[in-house]
Chain A
Amino acid sequence: MRGAVIPSVLLILWEAGSRAGVLPPDSTSRPSDIVRAFAQALADGSLVRDTWLTFEAALFGFAIAALLGILLGAILGLSPRTERAVGPSVEALRPIPAVALIPLALLVFGFGVRMEAAVVAFAALWPVLLMTLSAVRGVEPRLLELSRSLELPFWQQLVKIVLPAAFGRIAVGLRLAVAISLVVAVTVEIVLNPRGLGHSMIAAQQALRSDLMYAQLLWLGFVGWALNKVTQR
């Protein structure tokens, strides 16, 4: 309860300051207007639709990153020889900021869900890949010897022994990747992809609808928080 005091006081000051004309009206709309804009966006379905579009791209990209990251990470973790060959390339690609790939992704895929998912996948790949790699390296050597002495085919070694044994730490990488996916999806939309929550926010800002922009911002904060809660189970 005590944690609610500061936000409440700030909200009251904000509303009062806005009504008294102390705060600049263009960048700080009133809390009451924001609530109204939020209710309207919820009622006309635009908020839900935008959220779905953003989620679609984020989840699509996340799925690619998870699949590729786990597979590559497991292969590199199990085979030091492959790791020595591929490792330097990974280290060279990893520092590229994912958003710097937006122009390239646009060139390859054009506007739409695919280009957004591609950028998301690139950003979310690394935490999954690196966590899987180190998790697989940390798998109990006895279990690897066991799977070798059982002559399990590579795929079965992976599914029956290595991935379940490494799952705890792979899950940490996946959780990080979920959070990154949402951030990058919204970023791509704000920068240029004409779809989803990010695009609606930049559109509201350009139409001087700061009330709507705030409403979307708060909603996005809530969505991110909820996503985090869900993945921490």
Chain B
Amino acid sequence: MIAARHVGVSFGSRQVLADVSFDVPSGQFLCIIGPSGCGKTTLLRVLAGLIAPTSGEVTADGKAVRGPARSRAIVFQDYTKALLPWRTVAGNVALGLEACRVAEPQKSRRIEELLSKMGLGHCAGQYPAQLSGGMQQRVQIARALGQDPQLLLMDEPFGALDAITRQGLQDEVARIAAEQKTTVVFITHDLEEAIYLGDQVIVLAAAPGTGAGRIAERITVEIPRPRSQLETREDPRFLAYRHRLFGLLKH
């Protein structure tokens, strides 16, 4: 379980986040949504331990987060910058395993497993630049899973992908998170994506005046899993959630 307690972040005199608190129970899928510039990515970085909050704290399983850890894997939005261009697909996936000091022959087996899980089996020997955006993002997810994380932090992972690719990857991430009982914190600016994926959706919005991001609304999505791109999106409950949150995201 990961928890944020009154987290505030300031860069110099500019306050970016104010008094953000939430709990994500183990195995839950939390989506954080908000307009750009409301501190979503900053919040993800705080959860990862990459930056320390100015006030408040983040705890993972009751222990305060003081820095980055392998148990909290990050999937970055800009996959072109987050993969090692000089390593093949298999080599990039291997990085997570190397960090965990997985030795041969388990290492090769795990790489193969992760590649086939993400549908990358046929391009193990290719370099990231030879792949489409969707495939590169799969490589990043496979690498993150290789760390065997308790928490998967995803920063607008599908923001740069086309709609069809995005929907395919949404279903895969949902499936994998359910299979491995991984806790996921997923940042997005796409409202329907947030409702479709999340067990819980938190809306961040800039406070009037200071401009600091704060929690404007939170909902629990009570639509059973597995969800389907077609039926779930037509479910009256889905539309009701969408209706309720839509107004908060307008500027």
Contacts and interface: CB of A to CB of B under 8 A. Distances in A.
Interface stretch (B64-72, B167-175, B183-191, B210-218): B64-72
Contacts of B18: none
B84 A150 contact: no
B96 A150 contact: yes
A146 interface: yes
A164 B98 contact: no
A146 B70 contact: no
B177 interface: no
Contacts of A146: 74, 76, 82
Contacts of A152: 99
B159 to A, nearest CB: 15
Q: How large is the interface on B (under 10, 10 to 19, 20 to 34, 35 or more residues)?
A: 20 to 34
B98 A151 contact: no
Contacts of B99: 150-152, 156
A78 B169 CA distance: 35
A172 B50 CA distance: 32
Contacts of A94: none
B28 interface: no
Interface string B61-105: 000000111101110101001101010000000011011000000
Interface residues of A, number: 15
B200 interface: no
Nearest to A148: B68
A149 B69 CA distance: 5
A151 B70 contact: yes
Contact of B81 (A140, A149, A160, A164): A140
Contacts of B69: 149, 151
A165 B84 CA distance: 8
A81 interface: no
Contacts of B96: 150
Interface in A122-166: 140, 142-143, 145-146, 148-152, 156, 160-161, 164-165
A145 B68 CA distance: 9
A233 B81 CA distance: 27
Given A148-B50, A150-B99, A160-B95, A143 B74 contact: no
In the complex, which of the residues A140, A148, A150 has the most CB atoms of chain B within 10 Å of its own CB atom? A150
A149 B72 contact: yes
A147 to B, nearest CB: 8
B38 interface: no
Given A150-B147, A151-B69, A142 B81 contact: yes
Interface of A: 140, 142-143, 145-146, 148-152, 156, 160-161, 164-165
Interface of B: 48-50, 67-70, 72-74, 76, 78, 81-82, 84, 86, 95-96, 98-99, 147
